[in-house]
Chains A and B, each alone.
Chain A
């Protein structure tokens, strides 16, 4: 039988979802996006903060540009994605080193999986992210500096 099969790989859409997925799937997507965002920010940050080697005048010019409210908002966004990436990263370190997935146990229906084991850790991490975002927002927009 020489029938042509149809390749049914989802492609990059499969990263975002191919069906109705769980919370951990979306945390994985966000972790990737925040990682890329932080990398882009960091590449700019190397050059921006390197200006200090040219002395106070150049530094003053650079800081003048960065006083723009767009950059202030950008800084807050960077802080938010850093908070998420860091705390989800802590959660992933525990999971991927086998510390939060529980031990192998004989499956008895209704099945519990490592997703149940890591859920308290996930909830704590997300609560801390929310707290950090609120604290960061307060500091950025209502803080003294």
Chain B
């Protein structure tokens, strides 16, 4: 077996460039990059920008796979540039392009704002019909580890857009919510503390909604956080069908019962502001 080498060598990098002030359509530009073992795509982009082409545009923030800013197409597969090592995906040539199924702002930067809007539209927060308790909470909601497990996987989404880029339905259907928003809708529906299942079901089961998913499975294949949106969507379809036949069990977490002898600590009042006085 060949030993993994630590030698640096040159690799051809093709980057899809688009300058909104000058270009009518994206174009391909070629660079040569000296790569070594351990270098991530984001590292490579920094080297290119610093040493060869300061006009190269790309987005990043945490550089450790938790913020979701650096999603892009790496050798034909969507992923995060910060946690993809170049030598894991390429041997002679590396092709980078912005995420498809979004608009390109510039070079490798895709516009994720529409996706955030869709997620927001699906009411991604806990809602209870008991408004008094929501406004002035008296105690915690009781939730078993089993109930937590039912939605925990889907909380790991960092909204990077890789799943949306891989989805075939997203390629043509502009009204389709996409894997990430649908997963968040399921995450809140299945959360036992939430009570707004009917409202979200109506939103999700609309025309051009969840039933336009046909399990191509690319979303789960490319998700960098293991969220498995395909699983969430199919489980949500099961929930919708059971609800259609009136068979869904309505489980709603109840308030935790305060033990009899327990007392609450006194409420600490926030001191008044001093600035501006």
Contact = CB atoms under 8 A, between A and B. Distances in A.
Interface of A: 3-15, 18-22, 24-25, 28-29, 31-32, 92, 95-99, 101-109, 111-115, 117
30 contacts: A3-B20, A3-B21, A5-B103, A6-B18, A8-B102, A9-B101, A14-B172, A18-B171, A19-B77, A19-B166, A21-B221, A28-B215, A92-B215, A95-B215, A96-B234, A96-B237, A97-B234, A97-B237, A98-B235, A98-B237, A101-B235, A105-B149, A106-B153, A107-B225, A107-B226, A109-B226, A111-B225, A113-B220, A113-B228, A114-B220
A55 B106 CA distance: 70
A85 to B, nearest CB: 13
Q: At the interface, is chain B mostly helix, strand, loop or mixed?
A: mixed
A20 B76 contact: yes
Interface string B2-45: 00000000000000001011010110000000000000000000
Given A8-B98, A14-B171, A25-B217, 4 more contacts: A18-B100, A106-B149, A106-B153, A114-B220
A24 B234 CA distance: 15
B18 A107 contact: no
Given A18-B171, A107-B227, A113-B230, A28 B214 contact: yes
Given A104-B152, A114-B234, A28 B216 contact: yes
A113 B221 contact: yes
A15 to B, nearest CB: 5
Contact of A101 (B73, B221, B234): B234
B21 A97 contact: no
B269 to A, nearest CB: 39
B238 interface: yes
Contacts of A107: 153, 156, 225-228
B150 interface: yes
A13 B196 CA distance: 37
Contact of B168 (A8, A28, A113, A115): A28
B76 to A, nearest CB: 3
10 smallest CB-CB distances across A and B, nearest first, come from A14-B171, A107-B226, A98-B238, A111-B226, A19-B76, A3-B20, A24-B217, A114-B231, A113-B220, A10-B171
Interface centre among B105, B156, B174, B215 (most CB of A within 10 A): B215
A111 B150 CA distance: 17
B73 to A, nearest CB: 6
Classify the secondary structure of A's interface with B.
Answer: loop
A31 B168 CA distance: 14
B188 interface: no
Contact of A5 (B105, B218, B235, B239): B105
A102 B237 CA distance: 14
Contact of A25 (B25, B106, B218): B218
A79 to B, nearest CB: 24
B58 interface: no
A123 B138 CA distance: 53
Interface string B54-84: 0000000000000000000101111000000
Contacts of A96: 215, 234, 237
Contacts of A112: 226
Contact of A15 (B165, B172, B234, B241): B172
B230 A8 contact: no
B190 to A, nearest CB: 8
A25 B174 contact: no
A14 B104 CA distance: 17
A5 B111 CA distance: 9
Nearest to B74: A19
A113 B105 contact: no
